[in-house]
Structure 1
């Protein structure tokens, strides 16, 4: 499970080899064996003993800013695999082999988006069915254009990104179309979000970004060596490449919150240029996210916890690099 600390003034320390969270309202003790990560989202204190216990049990500690982006992490220095995997990653980053990896990630992303639209009850919503089916058909056509692209990534980067962006715009127009009128939105918006949907989505993507980075490092892949997204100082380019097929997990969580009428205007604070998610809103989103990622699904022929699908795919990619390079 993920331990989430989102109450201002909380204190995380160790009692009898277990974590204890103290706040003004309560004390809660949790065994280190039940935790795989600790997420700290607001002003809180953590003891050095708690950090030590986390490291001893391979538990990641992650700090998030007000937008859900990772400020930094504390984890065991031995995470990761062989240097050979990262060398292979560098070798293929600018080759057609790298292009194929990106295309496969884009195919998976598009398929997951389309499946999400069907799962939202497209066939049951006769009134909006034609609009949604037309958008899905357009998304499929763009996917076919991606299939036809070939060559080194530097030669087709902007075509790939253009098709991907167009697919995403059609997908998000569908999500907006399915929301209640007062929550519909005009496309994606970032830091800050201009509406409630994007505000929840951005914060959720920030949390997902941390999960992707951790999975890559455990698999031995370098989060900084991108293929589609170019390298930059202190830029985790490969996280931005690899995250795409898994964004629908956050989309599903946020859409479910709206469909179950669990989103309130009070969860958002107005700031210059848009909205930010307040502590009450973060608690609702992070609770839903934590529960969702612990659910089991049928994935590539096996029953697996949703969060573990990311690690499964990261290991699969790392292994394929080793096999093709040997």
Structure 2
């Protein structure tokens, strides 16, 4: 379970070996064994005892900025990526295998986006023709991606992949933005800040997904800062950026289901500081719903397991692939 501290002035302390979360008259005790991570999204008080208990229990504490990005993390000092595996990560990022892995990542992401567009086509008959046209266009582009490059990564290849992804995203988000209920419609992706209610939801839950992806990488013994496609972004968790791609459409689907099935109203988001932000009341409802949704089994890549477990399995598969690298590519 991911514990999210999203109430201004809330405190996290320790009582009898348990985390004690308190705010005004409300008190809740939680066993560290129940937690996979702690996310801090509002100014809170964390005692040194709580930080120590989290470290001893191998529960990382993530601090998110108001845009939904993780900008700091506290964790146990005992994690050490094995020198051999870390060296192989560097080799992998320069290898033909690394190129193939990135292309497959975007292939999986695009397949998820196509599923979402088909979901919308079944629910928005007035835009069925436009949605099916977008599905065909993206599906045709996916076939091109699969033959994009068969050598090691190059600057030209990276630019080509990013351009391909940008064009696909433009079509995808253009259709999603017009197919959602009227109160939620938008004209493209926006971050830092979100310029509409839909993007506010997307940014927030992408941030929660990021925390799961980074935990999965650490669990697999990989260094999140040694990426392939995003390798040139200094001091950023670039491998986490690479690994998260296939799972972004899962968050998109969660949001779409909230809009179409749960009939979520746009008043869960409020305008502030020239942007739109998820309000505290909505967080208390939507965060548990998202955590439960991530624990719900689904079939993916031939396996039936929870969404969380799929992400951890995907990271472990990457670690096995990297471990096959014997030497630096020439």
- Structure-2 residue corresponding to 1:189: 190
**Pairwise CA distance, 1:95:** 2.6
Which residue is equivalent to 2:180? 179
2:61 matched to which residue of 1?
Answer: 61
Paired with 2:218 and 2:33, the residues of 1 have a C-alpha distance of: 21
Residue aligned with 1:153, SS: coil
Q: Match of 2:171? A: 170
- Whether contact under 8 Å (2:91, 2:325) holds in the other structure is no
User: Over aligned residue pairs, what C-alpha RMSD do you find?
Assistant: 1.9
Equivalent residue number for residue 317 of structure 1: 318
Aligned to 1:82: 82
Q: Once the 2 structures are TM-superposed, how far is the Cα of residue 300 of structure 1 from its aligned partner?
A: 3.4
**How far apart are the structure 2 equivalents of 1:74 and 1:277?**
25
2:137 aligned partner: 138
Query: Structure 1 residues 83-92 or 278-287, which shifts more?
Result: 278-287
2: CA distance between counterparts of 1:232 and 1:123? Answer: 40
Q: Extract unaligned runs of 5+ from structure 2.
A: none
Deviations 1:53-78, CA, capped at 9 Å, x for gaps: 21221111111121111121111223
The 1:110/1:203 distance shift into structure 2, 3 A limit, reads: same
> What CA deviation, in whole Å up to 9, does each residue of 1:238-259 have, x standing for no partner?
2221111010121122222222
- For residues 96-154 of structure 1, give each alpha carbon's deviation from its aligned partner in whole angstroms, at most 9, with x where no partner exists: 22211110101100111112223x25345443222111101100111111112123321
Measured against aligned partners, the alpha-carbon deviations of 1:159-190 in whole angstroms (never above 9, x if no partner) come to: 11111111112211222222112321111111
Structural mapping, 1:199-238, within 5 Å: 199-238=200-239
Distance 2:313 2:93 in 1: 21
Distance 1:315 1:49 in 2: 32
C-alpha deviation, 1:284, in angstroms: 3.6
| Residue of structure 2 equivalent to 1:14 | 14
Q: 2:242 corresponds to which residue?
A: 241
Q: CA deviation at 1:265?
A: 2.6
Contact 1:294/1:306 (<8 A) preserved: yes
Most deviating of 57-66 and 223-232: 223-232
Does the residue aligned with 1:254 lie in a helix, a strand or coil? helix
Q: For the residues of structure 2 that align with 1:33 and 1:303, how far apart are their CA atoms?
A: 25
What CA distance in whole angstroms lies between the structure 2 residues aligned with 1:237 and 1:85?
16
For this pair of structures, how many residues does the alignment match?
A: 324
Runs of at least 4 residues off by over 6 Å: none
8 Å CA contact 1:32–1:54 kept in 2: the answer is yes
Of residues 53-62 and 291-300 in structure 1, the stretch that sits farther from structure 2 once superposed is 291-300
The DSSP-based 3-state class of the residue aligned with 2:11 is strand
CA distance in structure 2 between the aligned counterparts of 1:135 and 1:60, rounded to whole angstroms: 40
CA–CA distance in structure 2, aligned partners of residues 124 and 65 of structure 1? 35
How far apart, in 1, do the equivalents of 2:158 and 2:290 lie? 32
Mapped partners of 1:165, 1:46: distance in 2 = 40
Unaligned residue ranges in structure 1 (runs of 5+): none
Write the distance in 2 (CA, Å) between the matches of 1:276 and 1:53.
Answer: 31
Q: Is 1:41 the equivalent of 2:44?
A: no
Q: TM-score, length-normalised on structure 2?
A: 0.91
**CA–CA distance in 1 between the matches of 2:17 and 2:297?**
30
* Matched residue, 2:30: 30
Match of 2:252 in 1: 251
Measure how far apart 1:297 and its partner are: 2.0
Alignment match, 2:301 = 300
State the Cα deviation string for residues 182-227 of structure 1 (Å, max 9, x = none).
3211111111111110111111112222222221122122222221
